[in-house]
Amino acid sequence: MLKQFFSYYKPHKRLFIIDFSSAVFVALLELAFPVAVQWFIDELLPTGDWGRIVWVSLLLLGIYLLSTFLQFIVSYLGHKLGVNIETDMRQQLFDHVQRQSFRFFDNTKTGHIMSRITNDLFDIGELAHHGPEDIFIAIMTIVGAFSIMYTINPELALITIIMIPFLVAVITFCNTKMNKAWRNMYSRIADVNARVEDSVSGVRVVQSFTNEAFEMNRFREDNGSFRLAKIAAYKVMAWTHSSMYMLTRLVTLLVLVVGAWFSYNDRLSYGELVSFVLFVNVLIKPVDKIAALLEMYPKGMAGFRRFRELLDQEPEVLDRPDAVDVPHLNGNIRFDRVSFSYDDSKPVLNDISLSIRPGQTVAFVGPSGAGKTTICSLIPRFYDVDLGSISIDGIDVRDMTMQSLRSQIGIVQQDVFLFTGTIFENIAYGKLGATDEEVYHAARKAHLEEFISDLPGGYETQIGERGLKLSGGQKQRLAIARMFLKNPPILILDEATSALDTETERIIQQSLEELSENRTTLVIAHRLATIRNADRVVVVTKDGIAEDGGYEELVQKGGIFAHLHNIQFQEA
């Protein structure tokens, strides 16, 4: 784990070296100070040479100005180093999450991902900056101070140093407790984030059910658990701090009293006594640092562990090393004895075989939950099949690069996901780097022109968060424009018009038919009127493909499809 941690320093080696060497220099100056004071009192003062005394004082001032400057460097560059590392990690994690497969997102709360990408990394940054530097400086200072003290007076040096293991013992004891407390705090804040994400993105549902109070109560519970967890962590921290404080003051007092006694017996000069008391202060600093580190370490490492946990989760669907680029698919799609389940408990598709000719429009109908969407999700490899295979133009989809496969499949769903931004940006999302002309052309083809030109902002109109300011039909048209721009040979329309009213559906239907011209098209639809022109109808039930044939042919056949047909058209 530590080795992994240190690998993040590599790109910032120079920064680290400058920061580190400045810190070492500062520590050396700190060590020199008590010695200088001792010499000042014992050697310089008795000479009464005021010219020299002033001169030495100026020299000390110079050294401390230098030390101040170095302190600034350490504080500034050290934090910069921490922030750089934190930023690298954040980017790496975001990139990694982007590559994850659908199943990952099925099983992971968005709020949890958010808190890993944000909060968890703060403490890692702090640790990255303080960790190695502080531990090195602390050891150097303790060893250095002890050596100097030992040459002055071994007994008093031993008395002083003997206290350090006590301090360390107390801290280590607290450390274990702290580790647990911080981990708990992290899970609780992740819960809070998840709750906020859920309630805020669902706020329209919340308010329409007037369930605000219910949501507030649920949030109060999570927030309360977080509060308790954080307070508990701080309590452990407070215990650590006060124990430390007491122990260090005891050492100072002890050194002062014992030192005074030595001095009274002429075994210690005044300068040496002062120097000793100063050294206690020099020693307390690194011990404090170690304490801070022991507090930071579990926090940072808990964050780092969570960070790595997520990072080590390999995407389930990946390019094979020998995957081929297939730039021009015709759209001859074949399912060969495909079986699939989302989780082992419940098979969704069982031994499905199916062949679709290039350019054909195939409609999938059947009860909700039968697996129509699932069939379509397998083609672009949102999930991989468990058994059997899916091929396009004779090539297994798992042998193609995902880039070439997915760039040639367009999906229009019932829920259109639009990004916060302008109409132009949302259409252009279909083909990054598209020219303005291409975007306008796509909008024309999706019959969006009139609507857009009526808007005061035109193409630059903000559509609100997730397209909130657009109607269902307008969103759907935007999605269609996106598809015209993407221009894929294979098109999947998954209940694209199901959420629309009949009139809007009729109009959108026209655009969809224009869109599906010259493309292999899979249409999932509930209203059979929208699939009248399909070349072929496949009826999917929980037991697999029940019927497969032309529209009229299936109506004549008098099976499931004929039944569905009769219900719908009798109603009409």
**Residue 342: contacted member of Mg ion, ligand ADP, none (CB under 5 to 8 Å, by partner type):** ligand ADP
Provide φ and ψ at 545, rounded to 5°. -80, 115
For residue 196, is it left (φ>0), alpha (ψ between -120 and 50) or beta?
A: alpha
Question: Does 106 participate in binding ligand ADP (rule CB under 6 A)?
Answer: yes
Nearer to Mg ion by Cβ, of 124 and 493: the residue is 493
- Site size toward ligand ADP, by CB under 6 A: 10
Report the alpha-carbon distance of residue 250 to residue 163 in Å, rounded: 9
> What is the nearest approach in angstroms of ligand ADP to the Cβ of residue 377?
7
Which of 160, 199, 361, 373 binds ligand ADP (CB under 6 A)? It is 373
Residue whose pair of structure tokens reads 């039909």 in the numeric block: 473
Nearer to ligand ADP by Cβ, of 73 and 546: the residue is 546
For residue 11, the 8-state DSSP code is G
Nearer to Mg ion by Cβ, of 193 and 373: the residue is 373
Question: Does 511 participate in binding ligand ADP (rule CB under 6 A)?
Answer: no
Q: Which parts of 332-351 interact with ligand ADP (CB under 6 A)?
A: 342, 348
Nearer to ligand ADP by Cβ, of 282 and 397: the residue is 397
Which of 125, 371, 467, 489 binds ligand ADP (CB under 6 A)? It is 371
> What is the nearest approach in angstroms of ligand ADP to the Cβ of residue 559?
18
Nearest Cα neighbor of 149 from 307, 15, 35 is 35
- Helices 119-152 and 270-311: crossing angle in degrees, nearest 10, is 150
> What is the nearest approach in angstroms of ligand ADP to the Cβ of residue 387?
16
Nearer to Mg ion by Cβ, of 244 and 370: the residue is 370
**Residue 369: contacted member of Mg ion, ligand ADP, none (CB under 5 to 8 Å, by partner type):** ligand ADP
153, 272 in Cβ contact below 8 A? yes
Question: Does 373 participate in binding Mg ion (rule CB under 5 A)?
Answer: yes
Question: Does 160 participate in binding Mg ion (rule CB under 5 A)?
Answer: no
Which of 369, 457, 458, 464 binds ligand ADP (CB under 6 A)? It is 369
**C-alpha separations of 181 from 71, 127, 226, 235, 295 in Å:** 33, 17, 11, 9, 11
| Per-residue binding letters, 61-100, with ligand ADP (x by CB under 6 A) | ----------------------------------------
Question: Does 370 participate in binding ligand ADP (rule CB under 6 A)?
Answer: yes
- Segment contacting ligand ADP by CB under 6 A, of 173-181, 232-240, 363-371, 464-472: 363-371
Structure tokens at 383: 């999930």
Residue whose pair of structure tokens reads 């509060």 in the numeric block: 227
Report the alpha-carbon distance of residue 199 to residue 35 in Å, rounded: 63
Nearest Cα neighbor of 411 from 318, 500, 325, 519 is 519
Nearest Cα neighbor of 446 from 413, 421, 474 is 474
**Residue 520: contacted member of ligand ADP, Mg ion, none (CB under 5 to 8 Å, by partner type):** none
**Residue 465 CB partners (closer than 8 Å, separation 6+):** 420
For residue 324, the 8-state DSSP code is B
Strand ranges across the sheet with 409-413:
409-413, 490-494, 520-524, 361-365, 536-541, 544-549
Binding site for ligand ADP (CB under 6 A): 106, 342, 348, 368-374
Q: Residues interacting with Mg ion, by CB under 5 A?
A: 373
